Every structure is written in C-alpha cells, then in structure tokens.
Amino acid sequence: MQMPNKLYSYSESTLALIPAVLERLKQGAVPVKELFTGMRGALSDPSDFLSVMDCLYALRAVDINDEGEVYSCLWK
C-alpha cells in the first residue's frame, strides 16, 4: 500500500483510488473482474487494486457476496 509521502504524491497513492472504487459501487454490486477491468486505467500496477480492496475491506466499506460481486456497505 502506497501512502502519500516524499516519494509518492497523493495522486500516486492508494488513497487516491478509494473514491473511484466507491463511486463505481454506488451503482450496485459489481463482479470483481469487472471492477478491476474498469479501474485498470487508473492503476500503475495490478497490486494497487488489491491494496485498495484490502483497505476498503478493512474499513468495512465493502464486502463480497456469494456470487463474487463486490458491494458497498456504506449506502443501503
């Protein structure tokens, strides 16, 4: 997980990707593969996607259902 510091600006950090993921999930549950594909342009490395999802899951902002779809826990 890249945090903003002297080496990485906010726009290059993991934190900058969080709003984009949450905005996409406002529309409803999305399969993980589709979410990754939609975010690919904003990612510098595929592991960035895992970092964002780990962060959101740890904050209990997202979860995944039995069908493999990611959904937001913030808007019900």
| 38 assigned to some structural domain | yes
Q: How many domains does the chain have?
A: 1
| 29 assigned to some structural domain | yes
Mean pLDDT of 27-44: 93
Q: Residue 33's pLDDT is what?
A: 96
Mean pLDDT of 34-46: 91
16: left (phi over 0), alpha (psi -120 to 50) or beta: alpha
Q: 5-13: list long-range contacts, CB under 8 Å, 24+ apart.
A: 12/44
| 2 assigned to some structural domain | no
| Start-to-end C-alpha separation, the chain | 28
Would you place residue 57 in the very low, low, confident or very high pLDDT band (cuts 50, 70, 90)?
A: very high
| 66 assigned to some structural domain | yes
| 65 assigned to some structural domain | yes
Strands 30-31 and 69-72: antiparallel
Domain carrying residue 19: 10-72
| 40 assigned to some structural domain | yes
Look at residues 21, 12, 30, 68 and name the one whose alpha carbon lies nearest to residue 49. Answer: 21
- What value does the mean pLDDT of the chain take? 91
